[in-house]
Each structure stands twice: as C-alpha cells, then as structure tokens.
Amino acid sequence: MLRPWLRRGTLRALSLPARTVPPLVNVRFSSTPAAQTPDRVPLRKQLKQQAKSLRSHKRQRKEDEEASRQEWELTVGVEIHAQLDTEAKLFSRAATSTSDVPNSNVALFDLAFPGSQPEFQIATLLPALRAAIALNCEIQPVSRFDRKHYFYQDQPSGYQITQYYEPFARNGYVDLFDYDGIAPEDGDRVRIDIKQLQLEQDTAKSQEYPPTTQLLDFNRVSHPLIEIITMPQIHTPATAAACVRKLQAIVQSCGAVTTGMELGGLRVDVNVSVRRRDEAAGQHQYNGISGLGQRTEIKNLSSFKAVEDAIIAEKNRQIGVLESGGVIEGETRGWTIGSTETRRLRGKEGDVDYRYMPDPDIPPLIIGTDLLANLNSTLPTSPDALITLLVGAEHRLSIDDAKPLIELDDGARLEYYHDVVDTLHTLQADQDAATRAGLGRSVGNWVLHELGGLLTKSDRDWDAEIVPAHSLAELLDQLQRKRITGPTAKQVLSGIFDGDRRPVSQILEEENLLLRPLSRAEYVALAQSVMALNPQMVAQIRDKKQVGKLGWFVGQMMRTGEKGRVEAPKAEEILRELILGV
C-alpha cells in the first residue's frame, strides 16, 4: 500500500502550515453600576422584546413564503451520493475506511498507476441491490460502467467510473407520509419517483489550508457509492428535506449504508427551479416531465437543515432575478452552513464536457433473478412497515413514540423495547387479553420517556445493559398488578439506572416499597382527619352539593397518608360515603 500525502500533484511529506492566531480580544468589565446608565432597558424587558420581534419576524417570513407560493411553483429534484457498506473498494481490494490514517488504504488502481487494472468487487453489489430493492426499483439484468472525464486533483485517473448509459436500477419510488415531516400543503402522503440508482466511485478527500496548501487523502478514492436520482417532483423545501431524511432511513435500515449525513456518508445535491403559476409552461424538461423552469444545482449539502435552507434561499434568489426581469442561468452553486444565500461556483458555459464513454476494461454486470429472490426474502422490515406494526393493534404506540423508537440508537432502542415487551408478555401470561394488549404502549412510554429522561439528564449514551430489559419488565409487571405505585416504579428504575444490581423483587422487599393496601378503617380514619381540617368545605359539599371540591380532600389524603398506600379512587369513594352518604 502507498502512503503518500499529496500536495497539488506533488509527493511530499505532511507538513501543516502554521495557523494564524487571531489576537485575543481584550474584554473589560465596566465598573459603572447598571442602574446609573440613563436609558437602560431591564434585561427581562429586552429579552421579551427580542422574543416578540423574533416571533413577528417568523410570522412575516411565513406570510411572505405563502404569498410567493401562490404565485410561483417551486420544483426540486435531488441526487444523493451514499457510501455503501462494503469492506473493499469498487475496483480494488484495498479496504474502505473512514477513520484510518490518511492514505493507508490505497491500491495501485485507485491511484491510476499505469498498467493497473480494475477488479470489480462483486460483494459491492449486495448492499447496492438491497438499497435498490428497498427503493422499489426495477433491477436491470444487464448494466454497464462508463467513464466520466474531468480533471481535478481528487480524481487521479482523470475520469470517474460511473453508470451513465445503463444504470443497474431504474423506476423506483419513495413514499413520504405526514409523519415523515412533509409540508402541510403536500397533504398526508406524497410519492416521489426515483429515476435511477447507479454505482460509481467516490473521489479523494481534500483538506484545504489556504492560501496555497491542499492535502489529499486517497483512502476515500473509489469507495463504492450509489447515486440515487429522484424525479423533479418535489414542490416544497420541507418535503425535500423529508425526502432526503427518508431515503437515508431506508438505505440505512436495509443495511446498504451505515454512515449517515452527519458523518459524511451521504452527500446531497439539490436541483432547484421555479416557474410562475399563471404563465405558459416553462421551456425545460427532464425524463418525460416537461414545462419546467431552468434549474440550478446546489452541490454537496451535508445536513437535512442545509437541504431545506439552501432550497429556500435559492428559490427566493431565482424569484428575485425573474421579478426584476432577469433570466436564470443554468449553473452550479454552493451553500455554506448558516448562510442565507447560495453562491455561484460555475456557470453552464464553464461546464466540462464529460466525454462519457463505455469503460473498455470492465465487463457488463449481469444480475440473476435467483440473487434478487434471495435478497428480496432477506430484506429487513422497512421503516414504514415497522411504523405500521408499532401503531397497529399489537403494540398500540402513538406515532410520536413509534418514530423515535425506530430511529434512536441505530435500532438498538427498538430491539430493547421488543425484549421488554416479550418478557413482560411472559410475566403477564395469566392476565386477560385486554390488559395484555395495552402492554406495548406502556413499555414504549417507559423506554422512551422514563428511561430516555434518565439518559438525557445524566448525559449518557444508550446501552441496553444500564437497565437490563428483564428488570424493566419485572418492574412494569409489578406496576401493572398494582403492587407498586407509579412513583415507586420511577424511584426503583432510577436506582437500577444508577447501578443497583439487586433483583427487582429484592429491592421492593428490602426497601419496603410494596404497596400494602389500607384497610377500610384506615381509609375512614384518614378521611376524617382531613375533613376536620376544613369543615367549611365539607359543609359546601354536603349542603350545596359542590362535589367538585372532593378532589381537594382526595389530594390531602394522598399527601398525608403513608407514601404510596392511598389510592385516589378508593379515597374518593370513602369521602363520598362520609360526606354525602352515598
């Protein structure tokens, strides 16, 4: 393996330029007491004013957006480059890696050494096909590789190997639902067609040290990618972001891709055009969809928020240009996080002619139906199918709980949830069907909110062993059988979370936490003691039938009675009997 650090094409040792350190800002605290400043607005008032102006700014922005939406139609199509989860590169046996020492995984072919030949790594096909099947594509029995020529330091051969003329998958689609976060104006469901998926090589990673140094890490060169190309069928920025989020969830859930957008495993280009709704159709067309406005392409977005913000900014820029009588130029643009404007990178005229040509060194890919049948039958359940299952009769989770359960901790939280539910079902085998049907919802609540709350508070990462699944199941079994109260269950959970490894039954025994129901005589004595505290209210309930006030006495009984032993319904029953005689 070669380990060069390259600087603008020249082999040289790694030496980083010294960074200029900005001079320290000299901060001085004023000794003038705040009250002496004449027009000083109190901080609380300032914050209130700021919040008010932020609210009105947001409202104004929303109104402006709506007004422009009435007049202009936005169209978006996205291209997503996703790194496949494979051990070797696309055309060499060098290992894929995201965190190894730079330039430690590079084969001769990756650096385009003269005479080196591509060796297609057949294992790459499996994740690629899984993604294509999960995205409902038609897999092509024969597909081919092409060379896309351009000269740039991140591509040593002078061309990228991709699938331009005959990609391996076509005509898929992705369904987006309201729970995926699509814009309200898109209703509760929208289908976005996928034109194709193609296999291609990644480029090297560049690190810039301005003004003169550019370091290159060739570990990433030829990492297998799939490019997913959607049709121009997205009409709102929020839906575009939802589409990217959903595509990421799908390719991750089928095991095709492991690294998400935040770690650079997924990179997105968005294509944006606008056209006036009341005008004759636009002049542009794409793969059978005509009447479109001129598109511009914003390259290399690396977060869902960037996708949404860049589209809003570019749409507004294009509308501004058209409203002032200008024309939109087909161009490639860039986006910086936190910015409010896209910036021009290069115009259409400057676009390279890629001189696509079939790669003469790589034979066609032939994909057999037996392989597809096998992959089809072993594909994991899709995120949508999981949602349907979790909100269905078997689990009865709310959609707001089902979604995070699926998404959190790469599926580990869902696995834990299932472990708790399974154990709890066994423990509750003697209970009736109605009781058992509600178990999923309660487990979901405890796993996400109670256990989740403890994790957030302690700032710890998820680990299924912090509170073993069987411990939570035993605790919930005791709670469901009313042997402990809700607050007791929370207290015990928190103890286990902090490392108490005694069995749940032992904790409850030793800490004297089991609920011993009060006798009738004890309830009566307790009720009489709280009634004595407020005889006037007793009279109001008795004489004026103000029964709503019973709640106050119930609260007093729960507060003054022995912790966890007073049950509200029973307390109210006794109070009614004593005060109202019913």
Asked if 342 interacts with ligand ATP (CB under 6 A), we say no
Q: Which residues pair with 208 in a beta bridge?
A: 214
DSSP string, 2-30: ---EEETTEEE---PPPPPPPPPP-----
CB of 297 to ligand ATP, least distance (A): 6
Asked if 166 interacts with ligand ATP (CB under 6 A), we say no
Asked if 295 interacts with ligand ATP (CB under 6 A), we say yes
- Name residues contacting ligand ATP, limited to 68-107 (CB under 6 A): 75-79
Asked if 192 interacts with ligand ATP (CB under 6 A), we say no
User: Given the complex with ligand ATP, which of 79 and 511 has the nearer CB atom?
Assistant: 79
* CA dist list (Å): 79 to 96, 110, 188, 442: 23, 24, 24, 41
Provide the mask over 488-507, with x wherever binding to ligand ATP is found by CB under 6 A and - wherever it is not: --------------------
CB of 286 to ligand ATP, least distance (A): 4
User: Given the complex with Mg ion, which of 351 and 562 has the nearer CB atom?
Assistant: 351
Q: Which of 271, 318, 342, 485 binds ligand ATP (CB under 6 A)?
A: 271
The whole-angstrom separation of Cα 385 and Cα 392 is 10
User: Given the complex with ligand ATP, which of 79 and 186 has the nearer CB atom?
Assistant: 79
Q: Could you tell me how many residues of this chain bind ligand ATP (CB under 6 A)?
A: 19
Task: Show the tokens assigned to 261.
Answer: 């957008």
Name the residues that contact Mg ion, by CB under 5 A. 79, 269
User: Given the complex with Mg ion, which of 78 and 469 has the nearer CB atom?
Assistant: 78
Whether 162 and 198 have beta carbons less than 8 Å apart is answered as yes
For residue 160, count CB atoms less than 10 angstroms from its CB and return exposed for 0-12, middle for 13-18, buried for 19 or more.
Answer: buried
* CA dist list (Å): 581 to 219, 558, 566: 83, 21, 21
The whole-angstrom separation of Cα 44 and Cα 35 is 14
Asked if 229 interacts with ligand ATP (CB under 6 A), we say yes
Residue 188 phi, psi dihedral angles, 5° rounding? -105, 0
The whole-angstrom separation of Cα 391 and Cα 373 is 29
The maximal CA–CA distance of the chain, rounded, in angstroms, is 103
Q: Which of 102, 127, 172, 232 binds ligand ATP (CB under 6 A)?
A: 232
Q: Give the sign of the dihedral formed by CA 48, CA 52, CA 57, CA 62.
A: positive
Which letter does DSSP use for residue 218 in this model? Answer: G
CB of 238 to ligand ATP, least distance (A): 16
User: Given the complex with Mg ion, which of 80 and 479 has the nearer CB atom?
Assistant: 80
Asked if 228 interacts with ligand ATP (CB under 6 A), we say no
Q: Minimal CB distance to Mg ion: which residue?
A: 79
Task: Show the tokens assigned to 395.
Answer: 């689990």
The whole-angstrom separation of Cα 329 and Cα 16 is 39
Asked if 311 interacts with ligand ATP (CB under 6 A), we say no
Q: Which of 73, 119, 186, 297 binds ligand ATP (CB under 6 A)?
A: 297
* CA dist list (Å): 570 to 512, 538, 540, 566: 22, 18, 21, 8
Asked if 286 interacts with ligand ATP (CB under 6 A), we say yes
User: Given the complex with ligand ATP, which of 85 and 269 has the nearer CB atom?
Assistant: 269
CA atoms within 13 A on the CB side of 579: 32
User: Given the complex with Mg ion, which of 177 and 286 has the nearer CB atom?
Assistant: 286
Asked if 236 interacts with ligand ATP (CB under 6 A), we say no
User: Given the complex with ligand ATP, which of 134 and 229 has the nearer CB atom?
Assistant: 229
Select the binding partner of residue 286 from ligand ATP, Mg ion, none (C-beta < 5 to 8 A, by kind): ligand ATP
Task: Show the tokens assigned to 253.
Answer: 């859930």
Select the binding partner of residue 292 from Mg ion, ligand ATP, none (C-beta < 5 to 8 A, by kind): ligand ATP
The whole-angstrom separation of Cα 35 and Cα 113 is 74
CB of 262 to ligand ATP, least distance (A): 22
CB of 276 to Mg ion, least distance (A): 25
CB of 195 to ligand ATP, least distance (A): 7
User: Given the complex with Mg ion, which of 332 and 382 has the nearer CB atom?
Assistant: 332
The continuous run of DSSP H or E covering 213 comes out as strand 213-217
Task: Show the tokens assigned to 200.
Answer: 């291609």
CB of 300 to ligand ATP, least distance (A): 11
| Separation of CA 556 from chain center | 45
Single out the residue of 466, 493, 477, 504 nearest to residue 422, CA to CA: 477
Give the angle 14-152-156 at the CA atoms, nearest 5°. 70
Asked if 231 interacts with ligand ATP (CB under 6 A), we say yes
User: Given the complex with ligand ATP, which of 132 and 231 has the nearer CB atom?
Assistant: 231
Q: Which of 69, 205, 276, 284 binds ligand ATP (CB under 6 A)?
A: 284
Asked if 292 interacts with ligand ATP (CB under 6 A), we say yes
Asked if 230 interacts with ligand ATP (CB under 6 A), we say yes
Select the binding partner of residue 309 from Mg ion, ligand ATP, none (C-beta < 5 to 8 A, by kind): none
First to last CA, the chain: 89
User: Given the complex with ligand ATP, which of 102 and 232 has the nearer CB atom?
Assistant: 232
User: Given the complex with Mg ion, which of 269 and 474 has the nearer CB atom?
Assistant: 269
User: Given the complex with ligand ATP, which of 92 and 163 has the nearer CB atom?
Assistant: 163
The one segment of 31-39, 113-121, 224-232, 493-501 that binds ligand ATP by CB under 6 A: 224-232
The continuous run of DSSP H or E covering 486 comes out as helix 486-497
* CA dist list (Å): 468 to 429, 464, 540, 555: 21, 6, 52, 35
- Within 254-355, residue ranges assigned H as helices are 304-323
Whether 120 and 90 have beta carbons less than 8 Å apart is answered as yes
CB of 134 to ligand ATP, least distance (A): 19
Select the binding partner of residue 96 from ligand ATP, Mg ion, none (C-beta < 5 to 8 A, by kind): none
Contact residues for ligand ATP (CB under 6 A)?
Answer: 75-79, 229-232, 269, 271-273, 284, 286, 292-293, 295, 297
